[in-house]
Structure 1
Amino acid sequence: MVKTIASITFFFLFLTFNVAYSQDIEIKGAVYTEDGIALNGSILQIINQQDSIIHTFGRTDKEGKFSFLAPVDTGQFFLIAIYPKHTDVFIPFHVDDTFSGRDFGTIELPLNSVFLEEVVITAKGLMSVNGDTLEYNIGALKFEPNARIEDIINDLPGMQITRGGQIYSHGQIIERVLVDGEPFFGNDPTLVTKNIRADMVDKIQVYDDISENEKITGIVDSDRRKTIDVKLKEDKKSGMFGSAEGGYLNNYYNNVVMLNTFRGNRKIFGYGALSNTGKLGVGYKNMVANGSALGNQFDSSTGKFLGEGTPKVYSGGLSYSNIWNRKKLNTSVSISGMNVEGTKDIYELIDPDVNPLSNTRNTDFQRKSHNQSFRINYENEVASKIYLDLQVNHSKQTGFIYQDSYLKRIADNVVAVHSNQVNNSNGDDFTTSLNANWSKELSKKGRRISIGISPELKSSKMDNQIILETNNLGEENADHLEIAKQKLDYKINSNLVYSEPVFNGSLINSFENKNHSVSNAVNTTSNNLAYEDRFSGDHRYSYIENKLKSIYRRSIDKFSGEIGTAISFDRSLLKDIDTQISLKNDFIFFQPLVNLRYNISSTHRLEFRYSKNNIAPTLLQVQPITYSDDFINMYSGNKYLEPESVSKFYFNYYNFKLNKLRALNSEFEFNVKNNAVGYNINTLSEGNLISPVNIKKNIYSYTFHTTYGKEISKKKDYLWLPLDMKKELSYSYINSIENRIISTFIDLRPSFAFIKRGGIRFGLAAGPSYERIKYSENTDFNYEGFGIKGTGNVDIDLPLKFQLKQNFNYLYKPKYTFSNTSLNQLLWDASLTKLFGKNDNFTLELSVNDLLNKNTGLQRVYGNTGFTESRYSTIKRYFLLTIKFDINKMKG
């Protein structure tokens, strides 16, 4: 097999160095007014007529001239010339195998004869569709002087933005937000929506953008991301703008500052946030992107902290970006940190039919973390394309946990084990990663080669001191443990991709090598020798994947598709360093792929996808060391664990009617897992030992999501009807006894967005949720019930530039047999604001969080091994007095 792989690699390298290089095929011309005046800075775009995907764009120079490379693919295209207050010009042209470039000569842009000033634009005039790009003409709308992009989105028909910054377009989730086609400090949409001023925006475009991999390699694939592109006005790209706010009252504080400077394509952006209110408005999604575990504790729909306890959070960053001569540079540095403390009570039931057990845990905790991140991204696209992306992250963590646990036998109401555990931990993580890629168009149109390498290195250290007192059926023990963990995680991925035009389509052949190696040493010292043996070990785990892949892609009229397969030769190796005993496994996987799409029109389509992939076990799953975070519920890996196989079937139907402002989006996904990883609980006398196992039966899940949206009045009021359904079959094991679990979830939440009238704007989204859990063995866990979820907002303009804003969040969960508790919770937030200043650039705000003081931390999990209910401390009612200042030094 090694010889075969080496031969194939040599073949690809031979192609790399022996295929003749192409001459750049150029498109050029000049843009003038009808009076013959050169239009400096005019935007030129080339888009595909079939799918409206932007292939390239550029600007004219001082003489109105432009030139850039022609599209790689064959087909029908538009050259679009755009300049403020002039009519856009579309010029169609065709690219085939004989295309050798084109000089468009002089392109004249007529001056618009009518301009709309301070008038209300109806939805039909506000929106337009070009291919599959939905465009909102923002430049003609009028907003408050200090309005932001989030205020724009709330007024656009079919658009919706949650308080946490998640954006929806006609029921579809927006995955990426760009500014003038470029990322804005990572992928945190709140840094765009809460920062950029409404009066700077000319247009907002919504479209399916190409994947990040296609942008890097230049080789077409079928992955698309729903994207918003905020186009700024040409005369608003020079100067400085930002905002600052400071809030404090009764030991609660929330402070945010953002500052931007623009000079053409050169942008500098900085922000900082300091808060203990749980409402970190910006930056938390970048925490996740930078490898921190902080960001995922914030809710995307509300922006609130949903984790356990009360947080103190800080976050800040500085970004610089520039574009020149077909080169792009993006750099950023950021810091973030969190200090969380609180209490948590857990009630858990484990298999009441086979061996009835209950586990009650009362916990006090404190966690601190500090994260630093640096990133530099560089692109150079001249004769060939070079892409470099370097990221460096450093994180430190400290933690304190006091836990009082009881493991009780339900049948005789006897406490089997009682433990008091105190954990003090210190951790230090360092990660560096590089993504480097070179690609080039070769002698024949559509023939392209790409070579990439992506190394990543992560080192982790963790020291843990544990004081443990246990009482096991009258036998008392006191133990002290010191645990030192040192982990080195190394990955290096490389790929070679070659695209060749074949039969009016493209044949893409690739070779990928993924090498993942982890070494983990755990050294435990204790007065209990049994603990030293159980909690110590030194292992190295390697997983190597060599994949050969071939895909054929073609478009015929309204139909496009790709079909292909991959064969993957995988090897896993687990080595015990102390005993020098190794366990090696070899696998061969076939991974077919089918993607089909039928475009009935540019806004009406059907799509089907099928893929089969394999997921390798992690070191945590295979390393046979017991982990000691909880001595009643201990965890140990399974060295015999094998990869699981996942087959996915996906269907999508999308239909959008601009003239009726109606959208229907339906998605259905069916997943089948073979050899899936599940868990087995062994109920021992000293506690429970949890280990992963391969499930030898197929498990499956169905997911259905549909959204219907429609304008319901001439005022642009909008209705959404979202329906979510999921059904899943899985298995778990307790003392090796199989337990089948079938779960069903249904959520219906109609949503109404009412545009402001008479100084009042409000919205409402509420509906029922249904849950059903059915177990084959522990049938006492079976559950069926209805709950209610709802959100709402009311904004009222008052005299003297006062404004009252209110947000409501309602949640009802019924009682459960074992916990006999329900949740009936209404959260009511309100704020009163007053505008000051010549341009209303000062705002004074008095706000209250959880006016009724009803916030309760509650989480229920109907898991594979039983039922768990957690109640934890969280942020309740507080008042805040905030002053905000809007900075605007933009030219124009």
Structure 2
Amino acid sequence: MKNLFVMAVLWLFAAVVYAQNPAAPSRFTLQGQAVDTAAAPLPSSTVMLLSPKDSSLVNFTRTDEKGAFSFKNVKSGTYVLKISFVGFIPYNQVIKSGSESVVNLGALKLKPITKELFEVVVRTAKAPLTIKGDTIEYNASSFKVPPGSTVEDLLRKLPGVQIDQDGNIRAQGEEVKKVTVDGKSFFGNDPKLATKNLQAESISKVQVFNDKTEQSKLTGVQDGKKEKTVNLELKEQFKKGGFGKLTAGGGPASNDVSARGEIKGNYNKFDSKRQFSVIGLANNTNQDGLSFNDYQDFRGSNSFNWNDNADFGFGGSGRSIYFGNDDETLGIPVGGGDGRGFSNNVAGGVNYNYDTKKTKLSTSYYYNQSRIELDAERNRRNLLEASSYRTEENSNQINFNGNHRVSLRYEQMLDSTNTLVVLSNARLNNGNTNLLTFQDLYRSAGANGGEALSTRNRTKNFSTARQFGMANTALYRLKFKKMGRSFAASATYQINTNDATLDLDARNEFLQATSVNDMLRVIRQDQNTNSLRNEYKVSLQYVEPFAKKFFWETFYNFSLRYDEVDRNVLNVGDAGMSRNDSLSRYYKNNYLYNRLGSSIRYSFKGMNVSAGLAGQQFTLDGEYAPDQTSTQFNRINRTFTTLVPNLSLNYDMKKNRYLYGGYGLNVRIPSSRDLQPIINNSNPLFINEGNPDLLPQLEHNLNAGFYYFNPGNFTNVNVNLYGSYFENQIVYSQTVDPQTLITRTRPENLTGGRSLGSYLNFGFPLKKTKATLNLNTQLNFGKNLTRINQVLNETNNQNYNIGTRLDLTPTEWLTFYANANWGIIDTRYSINTAQNQIIINNNYRGDLNLKLPADFYVNTSLNYRTYRNDRLDFHQQIPIWNASVYKIMGKAKKAEVRLTAVDMLNRNVVVSQYAGQNYVQDERIATLARYFMLSFTYNMRGVQAKMRRDGY
């Protein structure tokens, strides 16, 4: 099957190459020069060849410095030549090829726009695309998609834009960070929410450009950093009415699988000042949400949507210090977020935006819940200093998670120089997990490679969690009259609470151990953890220009955080419950953080260089005891002081070429969980505890890159080099009991870990508007340190990834997308070279869409994944074939009936391979496989508002 797939891709590739073969008959070269009425050349004009039948784009280019252009190897026929230049009336001319091999049109004069000619401009300005500097504007009506298509389907048609199978967007070779609708945020800052839920027919124009960072907008100082942004401009009738989409479907039960069903919809109503949107879904087809991350640790991370950076410093990059994983709760195991297992999902949300020149308000409410069942098989090989052992694990878990999310952003321009922004985000979560795990541990039996069963574990866990988080921020900005001088201040309050329980019932059998503590054979406990976290933050920033091209930036950050955790562990026995003082802990921590920094920035003609230094101090004052009623508390008093340098370079070399690089130091303060000597035994065979002697981790980061985009032929090149070196890296060393194989982990500091990597992407059209090829490669070489039974192990990983993608859109009725990715992970261990191994993960995918007569459409996709590890004799091939056929119905083409077949080969299973610091693991998770569904979709069109006139 893989060979047939590759042959199909090569056949299509050969057909495209043949179609543009210069030796093919009946072809000619078209050339000319764009000038103004005074015969002065118009460089960088957009020149297009259009089909006279429907004005669809055939080819495009840009004029050079002399205003000249040339189209080579043009198929003989009739075309419309369109030339556009800012401030001039677009030029149009019908071109009919003859017997000449070269058609030279000479100088073509464009007339400047005047008031009298404005109406003419409106009538003639329609063009498939317009290039204005680094902005490319697409006319959506020139790129045909089936009725009822989403914006995501439209973007796939646009030259220079790519959508991967997860909905992530790349434009001109760069990842799109933000999607706006008429310049306004849509449901927060997730690009996929707009592209997956808005209809293509509502869009008038698609604009792709590099937006400034919020720091640059605030200070008026160019920092050289850009964010690739897509703006969707709505048609007038959709701005004045409502539009939306409703889908309902169902399918029969088969192969002991229950019936499948789904319902989803959205409704939008926009005008020049307001946006109102409603979205929702319910299904049991593993469609688990609208791209909100249901499992993120809130912790205020959503407080700064729209790039509202309230932690100033070093060009808006935020703090150079961050806390480790401070999740002190039992938590809910993550599962099903990538379509794993079997899930029932419900989600819905309301979003409202009000946007005027002085006032901007955005608020939303979103609820989602998911019940997921996961059946997993894991095979893990752990390395010891001179041997190894293997774990076979089978688990079943049922997770329920429900989240309420509320967000608010209010921005008021007090006057021309003063702006106030208020942000508030909150999340309330309720969840529970029922987990059943079976583990068998096999000890290596000698040089002959045999194995013997050593330890057997059966564990039942039931956990609950109720979590609340809120973050509130006030941000004040002041721009002085002097260009570049600015001041900003912010204040933030965050609160997080978590009330969690865990009922633990574990049975351990030690088949080879000669003496074992009976307390390890049966473990029955009730664990309760209540935590409270409060944080107060203040940040200040001042920017002062001097010597015309230089700017002095200084900032101050203050944070005071208070943590309180009460963890009670009760042993459950036949005689009742008794408190386990060795596992119970009550502790309070106060974190005081101060950072003062300054930098000098040089900004002139696209060159931005910044060099800065900050001094930061972090103080931890904590106390802990087995119980909050204890008379004697142990104390932890630690102070960490660090100098943090920062260097950045951003150079706009013009003509869409960018050079960037920099050096930074990240400081990771040990988390309170890592510092507290608390023992966590929720997995009785894998126990972890904290280390109060940890030092901060220092990560030195270097990066450099180059980006180039040619708007004339849509060729793009993106090169990136990066490297990291760790001092006092926080790693989790392991001690394995030779009798029971119980592993205990404890964090410690090690120096010497490093990573070095590169990324290269090269994209170019095989035939403009018809075929595009992208090639990419990523290399990474890393060294990770950890201590295994007091012996230092050095794990070296060499990762090689090569990928290619082919986009074919030869006609309106056919599109084909194909991609292939090959990955090799070569892992070598210093303490046990016999366990060195190579992991190979490959993926091939093709998507075909056909338009048939009578408004019938067909689309089908084949995704073929292979996994291989000869060392563990692991080989897996998974072909997933999906297909659907649908019919557009009605005179207005508002309705759609669709028959869908998912996983027609009935082979779907989630497989992964991973090589860690001293182990390698493969995992298989049963998931939703073959099913069929018949669905009906109704599209609501925009309603044209009728304007009333006096006298009528």
1:288, CA displacement in angstroms? Answer: 4.8
1:318, CA displacement in angstroms? Answer: 0.2
The amino acid that maps onto 2:436 is: Y
1:188, CA displacement in angstroms? Answer: 2.7
Aligned partner of 1:199 among 192, 198, 201: 201
Question: Structure 1 residue 884 and structure 2 residue 932: aligned?
Answer: no
1:511, CA displacement in angstroms? Answer: 0.7
Residue 661 to residue 356, structure 1, CA distance change in 2 (3 Å): closer
1:854, CA displacement in angstroms? Answer: 1.1
1:470, CA displacement in angstroms? Answer: 2.2
Counterpart CA distance in 2 for 1:295 and 1:639 is 27
- Does the 8 A contact of 1:217 with 1:439 survive in 2? no
Residue 852 to residue 446, structure 1, CA distance change in 2 (3 Å): same
What SS does the corresponding residue of 2:874 show, helix, strand or coil?
A: coil
Question: Structure 1 residue 840 and structure 2 residue 893: aligned?
Answer: yes
- Counterparts of 1:139-288 in structure 2 under 5 Å? 140-212=142-214, 223-250=225-252, 251-280=259-288, 282-285=290-293, 288=296
* 1:610 counterpart residue number: 663
Residue 287 to residue 138, structure 1, CA distance change in 2 (3 Å): farther
The amino acid that maps onto 1:255 is: I
CA RMSD of aligned residues (A): 2.8
Percentage of identical aligned residues = 21
Residue 501 to residue 168, structure 1, CA distance change in 2 (3 Å): same
Question: Structure 1 residue 134 and structure 2 residue 136: aligned?
Answer: yes
* 2:752 counterpart residue number: 698
Counterpart CA distance in 2 for 1:719 and 1:885 is 36
The amino acid that maps onto 2:341 is: G
Residue 883 to residue 792, structure 1, CA distance change in 2 (3 Å): same
Q: Deviations over 1:572-631 (max 9, x none)?
A: 233214442212121221111111122221401211121112011222222221212211
- Does the 8 A contact of 2:829 with 2:918 survive in 1? no
Question: Structure 1 residue 344 and structure 2 residue 346: aligned?
Answer: no
What SS does the corresponding residue of 2:713 show, helix, strand or coil?
A: coil
Residue 295 to residue 796, structure 1, CA distance change in 2 (3 Å): farther
What SS does the corresponding residue of 2:285 show, helix, strand or coil?
A: coil
1:722, CA displacement in angstroms? Answer: 1.3
- Does the 8 A contact of 1:87 with 1:112 survive in 2? no
Residue 286 to residue 379, structure 1, CA distance change in 2 (3 Å): farther
Question: Structure 1 residue 541 and structure 2 residue 586: aligned?
Answer: no
Question: Structure 1 residue 390 and structure 2 residue 435: aligned?
Answer: no
- Does the 8 A contact of 1:781 with 1:866 survive in 2? no
Counterpart CA distance in 1 for 2:174 and 2:116 is 35
1:515, CA displacement in angstroms? Answer: 2.6
* 2:781 counterpart residue number: 727
Residue 294 to residue 733, structure 1, CA distance change in 2 (3 Å): closer
Moved more, 284-293 or 448-457: 284-293
The amino acid that maps onto 1:548 is: L
1:346, CA displacement in angstroms? Answer: 1.9
1:568, CA displacement in angstroms? Answer: 0.7
Aligned partner of 1:556 among 597, 600, 604: 604
Moved more, 485-494 or 413-422: 413-422
* 2:492 counterpart residue number: 454
The amino acid that maps onto 1:227 is: T
Q: Deviations over 1:728-747 (max 9, x none)?
A: 11111211211101111111
Question: Structure 1 residue 744 and structure 2 residue 798: aligned?
Answer: yes
Moved more, 533-542 or 107-116: 107-116
1:286, CA displacement in angstroms? Answer: 7.4
Q: Deviations over 1:708-731 (max 9, x none)?
A: 111111443111111111111111
Residue 875 to residue 834, structure 1, CA distance change in 2 (3 Å): same
What SS does the corresponding residue of 1:749 show, helix, strand or coil?
A: strand
* 1:506 counterpart residue number: 551
Quick check: which has more Rg, 1 or 2? 2
Q: Deviations over 1:183-216 (max 9, x none)?
A: 1001232321123233332322223323355567
Q: Deviations over 1:90-132 (max 9, x none)?
A: 9xxxxxxxxxxxxxxx99595253667999x6xxx624132x3
What SS does the corresponding residue of 1:712 show, helix, strand or coil?
A: strand
Moved more, 825-834 or 582-591: 582-591
Residue 368 to residue 296, structure 1, CA distance change in 2 (3 Å): closer
- Does the 8 A contact of 2:286 with 2:339 survive in 1? no
* 1:710 counterpart residue number: 764
The amino acid that maps onto 1:399 is: T
- Counterparts of 1:276-675 in structure 2 under 5 Å? 276-280=284-288, 282-285=290-293, 288=296, 306=338, 308-383=340-415, 384-411=418-445, 413-442=451-480, 444-473=482-511, 477-504=521-548, 505-527=550-572, 532-577=580-625, 578=630, 579-675=632-728
The amino acid that maps onto 1:185 is: F
The amino acid that maps onto 2:537 is: N
Residue 181 to residue 115, structure 1, CA distance change in 2 (3 Å): closer
Counterpart CA distance in 1 for 2:221 and 2:769 is 45
Counterpart CA distance in 2 for 1:775 and 1:530 is 44
1:418, CA displacement in angstroms? Answer: 2.1
1:811, CA displacement in angstroms? Answer: 1.1
The amino acid that maps onto 1:624 is: P
What SS does the corresponding residue of 1:601 show, helix, strand or coil?
A: coil
- Does the 8 A contact of 2:159 with 2:769 survive in 1? no
Counterpart CA distance in 2 for 1:370 and 1:419 is 31
Moved more, 432-441 or 516-525: 516-525
Moved more, 223-232 or 396-405: 223-232
- Counterparts of 1:809-888 in structure 2 under 5 Å? 809-818=863-872, 820-888=873-941
Counterpart CA distance in 2 for 1:152 and 1:580 is 63
- Counterparts of 1:37-56 in structure 2 under 5 Å? none
Structure 1 runs not aligned, ≥5 long: 1-85, 91-105, 299-304
- Does the 8 A contact of 1:353 with 1:777 survive in 2? yes
Aligned partner of 1:769 among 800, 820, 823: 823
Moved more, 648-657 or 572-581: 572-581
Q: Deviations over 1:443-465 (max 9, x none)?
A: 53322211101211000011111
The amino acid that maps onto 1:422 is: K
The amino acid that maps onto 1:151 is: D
1:176, CA displacement in angstroms? Answer: 1.4
Counterpart CA distance in 2 for 1:281 and 1:402 is 26
* 2:853 counterpart residue number: 799
The amino acid that maps onto 2:466 is: D
Counterpart CA distance in 1 for 2:714 and 2:869 is 42
Counterpart CA distance in 2 for 1:318 and 1:359 is 47
The amino acid that maps onto 2:246 is: A
Counterpart CA distance in 2 for 1:755 and 1:179 is 26
1:439, CA displacement in angstroms? Answer: 1.6
TM-score by length of 1: 0.83
1:889, CA displacement in angstroms? Answer: 2.9
The amino acid that maps onto 1:203 is: K
TM-score by length of 2: 0.78
- Counterparts of 1:111-122 in structure 2 under 5 Å? 111=118, 113=120
* 1:788 counterpart residue number: 842
Structure 2 runs not aligned, ≥5 long: 1-83, 89-112, 253-258, 303-330, 946-952
What SS does the corresponding residue of 1:533 show, helix, strand or coil?
A: coil
Counterpart CA distance in 2 for 1:714 and 1:598 is 30
1:759, CA displacement in angstroms? Answer: 2.2
The amino acid that maps onto 1:402 is: L
- Does the 8 A contact of 2:137 with 2:208 survive in 1? yes
Counterpart CA distance in 1 for 2:855 and 2:226 is 44
Residue 248 to residue 212, structure 1, CA distance change in 2 (3 Å): farther
The amino acid that maps onto 2:422 is: L
* 1:51 counterpart residue number: none
The amino acid that maps onto 1:887 is: M
- Does the 8 A contact of 1:190 with 1:281 survive in 2? no
